Amino acid sequence: MEVAIYAWAPIGGKYHLAARLLWDATSEIGRFRYAPEWMVRPGSYPLDPINFPFANAEKVVDENHGIPGVIADAGPDSWGRSVIVEVGADVPRNEAEWVLHPRAVGTGALRFSGSAGVPPDTHDAYPACTLEQLFEVAMVLATGGTIDPPMRQIMGAMSSPGGARPKALVLRDGKQHIAKFEKPNDPFNIPRVEAACLKAAARCGIGTALARVVDIRPDHAALLVERFDRSAEGAPIHYLSARSLSNIGRVRAGRDDVPPRGTATYQALAAYARQLGIPDAGREVLRRMVFNYLIGNTDDHLQNIGFLFEAGRWKFAPAFDLLPHPGDIHAIGIGPKGRLRSLANLREGAAMFGLPESEVQEIVGSVVEGLSCLDGLMVAEGVIERHRAVVRSRLSSLLTSDRELDLDRP
């Protein structure tokens, strides 16, 4: 069985047919081709300029179950899929049906339909309910409970954003946000700690998503993150994840995660950004790598790093999902020892961005200084001491000790 997926993208706020994907259900191989009229339309742009530059020829897609990464970016991740399954109506049977599902709208501007003559619904849907109601549904879903029929009406707001944690789309003060909720058995208050980490990253010179904590109940909170894939007027902005640019699925240790040849490394990420024409890419990526190392953000996978196409140019998407995690293995490579979270690996990896040593030291020093306020920021966000202690246990010794450092110690 062959399924046709038509991708629509905006120019100046109006959607146009941009590409077609013919997907074979048996082989899970796709055939991608741009719409000829899209390539000549004033203001048009390649949806993925590295893997899918403008071309008249059809391109075979045999990675990612035959779905181009840029198309997968616009669909739901594990949390959104679990919500759609729970709702139980028209559950997709394959990857093509996930793309075409009316509730499966993820990050960015792309929308999809099953016909070139039938444009998709391009309106963002937000529920007429309270944060507390959304939180209650999220907690039931997170614990595997059963949703009462009256509450199923609001579950559509939870099926769009990507990621594995409980979240929902909400409107607040006229702006579009993603509400990120706590989860049972979290090691600390995730919304409050993430808010502090985002503010610390901004002090380190990293562009971050705008976010604030909102109390739901006396003992529960949500993090409202303003959608960076929407303009100030609410128009969708095209988004492309670093995972899509790398065109890689599972990271193979010792091969994909070792620079300079590995494609799932911070150094490769800088190279992708330079290919997109982003200035100072090496400095920006190095700053993010040092920050993630210092706070213990070992969940720094390529899906958590992205790019936006706006006003005719590519730029880094604001940093998001910045949290300390346990373990000493990063999700992507930082140095010659791959993903190992060690100071020696960080130092050797930092020297591989082609920057003068004095500039590398300045960037590292500025991030260390910016993070010196993290504990105070957590206090300001209402993080209790027991939870702050968990966070401190995951920080690098560069932040927690004045003693001479052991190069093999994280």
CATH number at residue 184: 3.30.200.120
pTM above threshold 0.75: yes
CA–CA separation, 372 and 196 (whole Å): 12
- Domain range for 84: 2-113
List the CATH number of the domain containing 293: 1.10.1070
CA angle, 199 then 203 then 209, to 5°: 45
Cα Dmax for the chain = 67
- Pair (277, 392) in one structural domain: yes
Residue 253 is assigned to a structural domain of this protein: yes
As to burial, measured by CB atoms within 10 angstroms (0-12 exposed, 13-18 middle, 19+ buried), residue 269 is buried
Residue 231 is assigned to a structural domain of this protein: no
Residue 119 tokens, joined: 């444009």
Q: Report the number of distinct structural domains present in the chain.
A: 3
- Pair (93, 7) in one structural domain: yes
- Pair (253, 390) in one structural domain: yes
- Pair (245, 359) in one structural domain: yes
Q: Which of 65, 85, 113 is the last residue of a domain?
A: 113
Please give the chain's pLDDT, 410 residues, in tens: 899 999 999 999 899 999 999 999 999 999 999 999 999 999 999 999 999 999 999 999 998 899 999 999 987 776 677 777 776 667 888 888 888 876 666 789 999 999 999 999 888 777 777 888 888 888 887 777 777 766 666 665 555 555 667 888 888 888 899 999 998 889 999 999 999 999 999 999 999 999 999 999 888 999 999 999 999 888 999 999 999 999 887 788 888 999 999 999 999 999 999 999 999 999 999 999 999 999 999 999 999 999 999 999 999 999 999 999 999 999 999 999 999 999 999 999 999 999 999 999 999 999 999 999 999 999 999 999 999 999 999 999 878 765 433 333 44
Instruction: Count CA within 13 A, CB hemisphere, residue 19.
Output: 29
